[in-house]
Structure formats: structure tokens, C-alpha cells
Amino acid sequence: MSGSKGTDLLSADDRNHSRYRKALSPAFSTRGLQAQEPHIIVYVEKLISRLKGIAESQLPVDMVKWYDLTTFDLIGDLAFGQSFGGLDSSEYHYWVSTIFNFVKVVPFLKLKDAYPVVLPLLMAVLPKKFLETHKRQVQYAKETVHKRLDDKAAYGRGDFMDSMLRHRGEKDGLSDEELEVNATLLIFAGSETTATLLSGVTYWLLKSPEALAKVTAEIRTIPTEAEINRYNVTNQLPYMHACIEEALRLYPPLPSGPQRRAVVPCQISGYDIPPGTKVSVHQSAAYWSPINFHDPQSFIPERWLPDARNDPSSPFFSDKRDVLQPFSVGPRNCIGKNLAYAEIRMILARVLWNFDMELCQESQAWKDQRTYILWDKPPLMCKLKLRT
């Protein structure tokens, strides 16, 4: 999002990528997730409280907005040491709004990699307000990171910054610029994508009454709401997990997939790939292909259950489930995969444990969206009613 090329986890060369990954790994370990659980609960409690107020008012609610506010507040806290205050204000922080605008510009900025000559033209046509806002965003990240660094009382709170500061001052420790850029990247990668999946699984469930009834019944077998706050409870809900996997297939948060660069001549699917070529798997194309999945355009969580995997008579027996890799694979896969699953399970389970939901008429075709590097999500308008 900012900083010199190669100073973040996505664009770093192999040596620096390994260094960044090593610095962040403790935050995403099992112990790290356990330390972060209380932080997650704080924001999930706020979300449920705000949604209860809306349900009592009987007004429709935009679930996209409330999922965004929740995940940005949470990841902002874990990365910067303070939330964006969205759940309190019911509004997007300007820093978050800037990210949404930036996403729409990225595909055009990528043109400069293939055609460097167009960079001056791109810079000329970008609105001056956008460039000024982006500078303000970078400055906010810098100031907030340094505020966290100066707060000695915050050391040991188990957040991302704790992990990145572990080797500060040592040979392989992260510089101030690397801290700023990677904290910003973690917020961007860990907030919008999680909120997108939550929006997608909510939409598909509300469009699939039988699946909604099954997953709601499964979640409501949990005796108390407090138990839903425990990872070892929500990860034991097989039908909910199947719903999440099916939503990841139909609505992958990163539809185009991350790029890699071929470093030596190679062959991919019979094509000769010269060194330096950027390659990627377009996730939507792979996940929606009948080559890989039976009835690929339909939301059918059952394809992920053991019966479909083990029964040769199942129409989903031959589904190529390993094709689904929304967090990528290999040494550069998404470091936040386990945290994302933990958030998604807890938030979805808490919402369905508390509310009966209905999709408003204006959102019936919600899935028809444009993509940039992410989905351009319209409001997902729903009616909420406290469970009876």
C-alpha cells in the first residue's frame, strides 16, 4: 500500500519474505490465536450488540457494512494497537474508505509493469484528491505505528506488532518503514477479505433456505452463546465449515488469485513459460468450472461433507476439492489463514445463533458484481429478527 518496493510481505524477495514471515509467524501460531481470542471477542460482542439494536428497530441492515466495520476494527487493533472506531460510530474511518477507493485504481496502476511508458499518463489522470488522500493514509499509518511503539504498556498484548517487534534492533529485525508497510498490508489483507467472505456466505445461505435451516440448527445446538467464543467449539461444526468452503468456492475474496513469477523456463498445462513471466490461477474460473466441480454455479455445501467424498454414487464424488486454494499454496501462502477461519466461524456462528435472517428484495441479485482486485460489493440488505 505504501513504502519502497519489496518492503512488504507480498512484494519482498525470497530473503526478505522469509525474514518478514519469521517475524510474523508467532502471531499466527496456535498460541498466537489463543492470545488474540479476547481481542476478537470484544469486537464480535460489539457487532452483536449493534445488530440487536437494529433488529429491535425492525429496519433493514446492510450486512456488508457491519462485517466491514467489525473486521477493520479488529485487525486495526491487532496491527496498529487501536481500532478504527467503526462499530462505535457506525461509519467508515477515512483510512478504511481510502482502501476501498485504492482497490479500484490498482488494476490501472498494474499497467505500468507491462507498459512503463504509460505511468506519466496514469499519474496525470488520477484525481489529485486521490493522491492527497493516499498520502494522508500513509501518514496515518506511520503515526499510528509509532504511537504503538511508544506505548510500553502495550508490549506483550499478543498482537501483530508484538510479533514484529520481537527482534527489533537485531540484524534481521524489521525497520520502521517495514513495520509501517507490513502493518498496513495486514489490515488490508486481513480485513476486507474476511468481511467479503462473511458477506458471501450470508448471501448464499439466505438464497438457500434448506442450507440456512441446517446450519442454523447445527449452531443452535451449542447451549450458550459464550461457548461460541471458543475456537475449539466453532471448529467442530461440520456443516457450517462446509458452508464456508462452498462460499469460498462461489465467492472467493480474491477472485483473480495472487501472482508468481517464473524464475526458470518451465511448462504449465502444456504451455512453455519463459523466465520472468507472471503467472497465476484465476480462482473464479477454476472454482466455477464443470471440469473441477459438479453443478459449479450452485451453492451445495454437501459437496464438502464426508458422505460426498466417500460415496462413489454421490454426484460430487469426483469433485476436485484440492482445486479450492483461496489462501494460495506454498511458502507464500496467506499467513493469516487460521486467523481468518477463526474470525469467520465465530462471527457467522454468533450472528446465526442470535438472529433469524431474511434477504431484502433489493439484494436478491447481490452476487452480480464487478471485480477489480477484490469484489466491488453493493450493500447486502437483510432483515434481522431476534431468535424465538
Q: Which residue has the cell 489463543?
A: 34
pLDDT in tens, the chain (388 residues): 444 455 788 888 889 999 999 999 999 998 898 889 999 999 999 999 999 999 999 999 999 999 999 999 999 999 888 899 999 999 999 888 888 877 777 777 677 777 777 777 777 777 677 777 778 888 888 888 888 888 877 777 888 888 888 877 778 888 888 988 888 888 888 899 999 999 999 999 999 999 999 999 999 999 999 999 988 899 999 999 999 999 999 999 999 888 888 989 999 889 999 998 989 899 999 999 999 999 999 999 999 999 999 999 999 999 999 999 999 998 899 999 999 999 999 999 999 999 999 999 999 999 999 988 889 999 999 999 999 8
Beta strands in 101-249 (DSSP E): none
Sorted by sequence, the CB contacts under 8 Å of residue 36 that are 6+ apart come out as 27, 78, 158, 159, 339
Q: What is the pLDDT of residue 2?
A: 44
Q: Residue positions in the annotated binding site?
A: 334
C-alpha dihedral sign at 133, 84, 352, 385: negative
SS3 letters across 43-99: HHHHHHHHHHHHHHHCCCEEHHHHHHHHHHHHHHHHHHCCCCCHHHHCCCCHHHHHH
Q: How far is CA 369 from CA 107, 271, 363, 375, 377, in A?
A: 16, 31, 12, 7, 7
C-alpha cell at 301: 455445501
pTM, entire model:
0.93
C-alpha dihedral sign at 232, 238, 242, 243: negative
Secondary structure letter of residue 188 according to DSSP: I
End-to-end CA distance of the chain, in Å?
Answer: 45
Secondary structure letter of residue 175 according to DSSP: P
Q: Helix 337-354 to helix 193-206 angle, to the nearest 10 degrees? A: 40
Q: What is the pLDDT of residue 259?
A: 84
CA atoms within 13 A on the CB side of 92: 14
67 vs 229: CA distance, rounded Å: 17
Q: Residue positions in the annotated binding site for heme?
A: 334
Q: What is the pLDDT of residue 253?
A: 95
Task: Tell which residue, 377, 346, 355, 357, has the closest CA to residue 43.
Answer: 346
Cβ atoms 197, 247 nearer than 8 A: yes
133 vs 26: CA distance, rounded Å: 33
CB neighbours (10 Å) of residue 161?
Answer: 24
Task: Tell which residue, 31, 75, 258, has the closest CA to residue 183.
Answer: 75
Task: Give the CA radius of gyration of the chain.
Answer: 21
239 vs 214: CA distance, rounded Å: 8
Task: Tell which residue, 342, 376, 18, 19, has the closest CA to residue 190.
Answer: 342
Q: What is the pLDDT of residue 3?
A: 46
Q: What are phi and psi of 355, to 5 degrees?
A: -130, 145
388 vs 385: CA distance, rounded Å: 8
Ordered structural domains, the chain, with CATH: 20-208+326-386 (1.10.630.10)
C-alpha cell at 349: 456462528
Q: What is the pLDDT of residue 5?
A: 53
